[in-house]
Structure 1
Amino acid sequence: MKVLRVLLFFSLCLPAAYAQRNSGIATTPPMGWNSYNCFGSAVHENEVKENADYVAANLKQYGWQYIVVDFLWSFDNPPGSRVGNPFQTKNADGSFSPWLTMDKWGRLIPQPNKFPSATGENGFKPLAKYVHSLGLKFGIHVMRGIPRQAVATKSPVLGTKGITADMIANVESQCTWLNHMYGLDMSKPGAQEYLNSLLKLYASWGVDFIKVDDISRPYHTAEIEGYKKAIKDCGRQIVLSLSPGETPIQKKDHVAEYANMWRMADDFWDNWDQLEKMYDYAGQWQGTGGPGHWPDCDMIQIGKLSKRGPVGNERFSRFSVDEQYSHMSFWCIYRSPLMLGGNLPENRPLELKLFSNPEVLATNQQGRDPKQLYKKDGAMVWYSRVNGSKDIYVGLFNIGEDKQQIAVNLQELGFSGDCQVRNLWTQSNLGTFKGQFADDINKHGAGLYRVTSGK
Structure 2
Amino acid sequence: MGAAPTPPMGWNSFDCYGSSVTEAEVIAEATAMAPLRAHGWDHVIVDYQWYDPEPNPLGWQHAPRFAMDAHGRLQPAENRFPSAAGGRGFAPLAARVHALGLKFGFHILRGIPRAAVALGCRLPNADATLEQIADPAATCAWNIDMVGARPDHPAAQAWYDAIVGQYAAWGCDYLKLDDASHPFHAAEVALVRRAIDGCGRAITLSLSPGPAPLDRVAELRALADCWRISADYWDTWDELKRQFDLCAQWAPHTGDGRWADADMLPLGHLAIRNPEHGLGERDTRLSRDEQVALMTLWVIARSPLMMGGSFVHLDPWTRALLSNDEALAPLAHGRDQREIARDGSRRVWRSAAVEGGAWLALFNLSDTPTRFSDVSADAKVRD
TM-score interval for Structure 1 and Structure 2 normalised by the shorter chain = over 0.9
Identity of aligned residues (%): 40
Match of 2:382 in 1: 422
Distance 2:172 2:161 in 1: 14
Amino acid corresponding to residue 102 of structure 1 in structure 2: M
Q: How does 1:187-206 map to 2 (within 5 A)?
A: 187-206=152-171
Correspondence for 2:129 among 145, 159, 164: 164
**Structure number, greater radius of gyration:** 1
Cα contact 2:19–2:59 (8 A) shared by 1: no
CA drift of 1:323 comes to 0.4
Cα contact 1:212–1:241 (8 A) shared by 2: yes
The alpha-carbon distance between structure 1 residues 85 and 52, as it changes in their structure 2 partners (threshold 3 A), is closer
CA drift of 1:84 comes to 5.6
Provide the secondary structure at the position in 1 that maps to 2:205. strand
Distance 2:47 2:344 in 1: 39
Match of 2:294 in 1: 327
Verify: 1:290 aligned to 2:255, yes or no: yes
Distance 2:343 2:13 in 1: 36
Q: How does 1:12-161 map to 2 (within 5 A)?
A: 19=1, 22=2, 25-57=3-35, 59-77=36-54, 83=57, 85-88=59-62, 97=64, 99-161=65-127
Cα contact 1:398–1:406 (8 A) shared by 2: no
Provide the secondary structure at the position in 2 that maps to 1:344. coil
Distance 1:202 1:386 in 2: 36
Match of 1:358 in 2: 325
Provide the secondary structure at the position in 2 that maps to 1:119. helix
Amino acid corresponding to residue 82 of structure 2 in structure 1: P
Correspondence for 2:351 among 384, 389, 393: 384
The C-alpha deviation readout for 1:6-44, integer Å capped at 9, x for no partner, is xxxxxxxxxxxxx3xx3xx11110011000000000000
Match of 2:178 in 1: 213
Match of 1:401 in 2: 367
Distance 1:271 1:112 in 2: 36
Correspondence for 1:368 among 335, 347, 351: 335
Amino acid corresponding to residue 305 of structure 2 in structure 1: L
CA drift of 1:406 comes to 2.2
The C-alpha deviation readout for 1:100-159, integer Å capped at 9, x for no partner, is 000011110100111011111110000000000000000000011000011101111121
Cα contact 1:103–1:109 (8 A) shared by 2: yes
TM-score by length of 1: 0.82
Distance 2:377 2:194 in 1: 46
Provide the secondary structure at the position in 1 that maps to 2:184. coil
Amino acid corresponding to residue 399 of structure 1 in structure 2: L
RMSD between superposed Cα atoms in Å: 1.2
Provide the secondary structure at the position in 1 that maps to 2:382. strand
Provide the secondary structure at the position in 2 that maps to 1:397. strand
CA drift of 1:67 comes to 0.3
Cα contact 1:33–1:341 (8 A) shared by 2: yes
CA drift of 1:271 comes to 1.1
More strand as a share of residues:
1
Of the two structures, which has the highest relative contact order with CA contacts closer than 8 Å and spacing of 6 or more?
Answer: 2
Cα contact 2:11–2:306 (8 A) shared by 1: yes
Distance 2:122 2:355 in 1: 53
CA drift of 1:342 comes to 0.5
Match of 1:279 in 2: 244
Provide the secondary structure at the position in 1 that maps to 2:44. strand
Cα contact 1:37–1:310 (8 A) shared by 2: no
Distance 1:366 1:242 in 2: 24
Distance 1:400 1:84 in 2: 34
TM-score by length of 2: 0.97
The C-alpha deviation readout for 1:223-264, integer Å capped at 9, x for no partner, is 111111000000000000000011111111110111000000
CA drift of 1:55 comes to 1.3
Count, aligned residues: 380
Gaps of 5+ in 2: none
Amino acid corresponding to residue 74 of structure 1 in structure 2: Y
Distance 1:292 1:225 in 2: 18
Cα contact 1:52–1:131 (8 A) shared by 2: yes
Match of 1:443 in 2: none
CA drift of 1:282 comes to 1.1
Amino acid corresponding to residue 132 of structure 1 in structure 2: H
Cα contact 1:77–1:84 (8 A) shared by 2: no
Distance 1:140 1:50 in 2: 16
Distance 1:230 1:410 in 2: 51
CA drift of 1:377 comes to 2.1
Distance 2:382 2:6 in 1: 23
Distance 2:119 2:154 in 1: 19
The C-alpha deviation readout for 1:181-233, integer Å capped at 9, x for no partner, is 00110101211000001111000000000000011011101011111100000
Distance 2:73 2:159 in 1: 9
